[in-house]
């Protein structure tokens, strides 16, 4: 095989090609690293989003359960209030209570002035004695 003299132009071209190839390889590595970082970031974002959605679902389930419990309590309160209103309808009114007080005052032996048998007989004898 015959060796030719290296052409200085060919050496410059080959070194330029090697330099460009090395530069492109470096850029490609940098792009691959950036792509890996982006993929990792996206995976973390997806995972965080899924976790937050699960947490929100759990929170919404709890809120739903509490709202349901409050609704049940409201129904119970309405039922109790209905019972109380029915019972209040059976109670005496203010006027009825005053009438009962008046009747009690009329027949109360402590405040009413009842006449004993002896007092009645003396009063009767006094009246008869005055007339005679």
Torsion sign (Cα): 37, 41, 46, 50: positive
Q: Where are the domains of the chain?
A: 92-132
Write down the pLDDT at residue 132. Answer: 62
Tell me 24's DSSP state. H
Write down the pLDDT at residue 50. Answer: 97
For 65-101, the pLDDT digits (tens) are 999 999 999 999 999 999 999 998 888 888 988 998 8
Structure tokens at 1: 């095989």
- CB distance 95 to 87 below 8 Å: no
Model pTM?
Answer: 0.49
Contacts of 115 (CB under 8 A, 6+ apart): 123
Counting as low any pLDDT under 50, the low residues of the chain are: none
């Amino acid at each position: 095989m015959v060796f030719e003299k290296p052409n200085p132009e060919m050496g410059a071209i080959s070194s330029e090609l090697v330099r460009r190839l090395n530069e492109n390889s470096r850029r490609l590595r940098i792009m691959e690293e950036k792509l890996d970082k982006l993929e990792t970031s996206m995976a973390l974002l997806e995972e965080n989003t899924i976790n937050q959605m699960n947490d929100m679902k759990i929170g919404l389930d709890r809120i739903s359960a509490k709202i349901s419990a409050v609704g049940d309590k409201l129904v119970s309160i309405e039922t109790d209030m209905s019972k109380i209103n029915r019972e209040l309808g059976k109670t005496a009114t203010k006027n009825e209570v005053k009438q009962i007080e008046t009747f009690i005052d009329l027949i109360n032996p402590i405040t009413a002035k009842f006449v004993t048998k002896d007092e009645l007989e003396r009063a009767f004898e006094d009246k008869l004695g005055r007339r005679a």
